[in-house]
Amino acid sequence: MYKENFFKAKRFGDELEKNIAKEFLIKMYPDHDIKDLPKLMHSKGLSPKMGRDKKGLAIPDHAVVSRKTKKIVALYDSKNKNTLYSAKGHKEKFWSTDEKLHDYRAYGKKYKVPCCEIFYNKEYDPDHVYTVNVDIEPKFYELIKNKYGDHWYGYYLSQTTPYSIAKHNKNIREQDMKKTWKATTIEEKKTLLFAILDRCKPEQSYRPMDPKKITYFKNKIKIAKTLKELDQIIWNLYCSGEGMGLNSKNYNDIIKYA
């Protein structure tokens, strides 16, 4: 018998709360757009029934689209689970899923990109989501034939990879600033500065920086041509993060005082 009765679960295909999934994907793919694939396909007439395409295949929840190439680079489907299951004869707890797994595999092959499932259980682990490529064969399977479907699959916890979704209260850390200051090439300095700004976004921080300010600093970094210009940005970024920035509403004025 299962430690958690399957029939008392709301359903084993619950979608992960959209905000959690999207924040995770934004964090994983900072230079990409995260599209709601079912809505996108439905709006284009490719999905007569929301969540299913014209062939009846289940559509993954999220498409990761490169801003540079405008092409899909990864697909994800999200699951908000009521529990981690245990079953007799299986040594590990597992994340449950269903036969839609085969549809997601078909989408991965169609777009020639990895397609993964995202699992989340707030009570078990509020600070992490767990992902797995659907091409990996689940280690749990049972033929069920009930109103939820015919097949019950499950990925052992050890088959999935955890990713932190915990947020922080310190946007700009001293160690990050020192590392960036010591960088000796323009490319390295810019990369480290962009990473610092990513920490300031709402999906990573409980105290996010104003999006307009993030955009301002990113634009300054992109057009900077010398190490000295980047060092000026580092100083202004540090002052801004520590609340010591000048009280000018014009960000162009701020940079002049570095």
Distance CA 87, CA 89 (A): 6
Give the CATH number of the domain where residue 116 resides: 3.40.1350.10
State residue 46's pLDDT score: 92
Report yes or no on 247 lying in a domain.
Answer: yes
Same domain, 66 and 185: no
Distance CA 168, CA 202 (A): 10
Same domain, 39 and 147: yes
* Tokens 């280690």, located at residue: 139
User: 104 is in which domain, residue-wise?
Assistant: 6-164
Counting runs of H as helices and runs of E as strands, what totals does the chain give?
8, 9
Report yes or no on 1 lying in a domain.
Answer: no
State residue 252's pLDDT score: 46
Q: Report which of 88, 38, 33 is spatially closest to residue 58, judged by C-alpha positions.
A: 38
Judge contact between 143 and 117, C-beta under 8 A. Answer: no
State residue 203's pLDDT score: 78
Structurally, the chain folds into a number of domains equal to: 2
State residue 112's pLDDT score: 97
Task: Provide the 10 A C-beta neighbour count for residue 12.
Answer: 21
Same domain, 126 and 221: no
Same domain, 27 and 155: yes
Distances (CA, A) of 251 to 19, 65, 255: 31, 31, 7
Domain closes at, from 102, 132, 164: 164
Q: Which helix (H) or strand (E) is 21 found in, with range? A: helix 18-28
Same domain, 158 and 181: no
Percentages of the chain per state (helix, strand, coil), in multiples of 5: 35, 25, 40
State residue 258's pLDDT score: 36
Report yes or no on 33 lying in a domain.
Answer: yes
Same domain, 133 and 183: no
User: Which tens digits make up the pLDDT trace of 152-191?
Assistant: 999 999 999 998 888 888 888 888 888 999 989 998 999 8
State residue 18's pLDDT score: 66
| Bridge partners (DSSP) listed for residue 155 | 95
In the chain (258 residues long), the average pLDDT of successive 10-residue segments reads: 43 54 88 93 90 94 95 93 85 91 97 96 87 96 82 93 86 88 90 88 85 92 94 84 43 42
State residue 139's pLDDT score: 94
pTM, entire model: 0.67
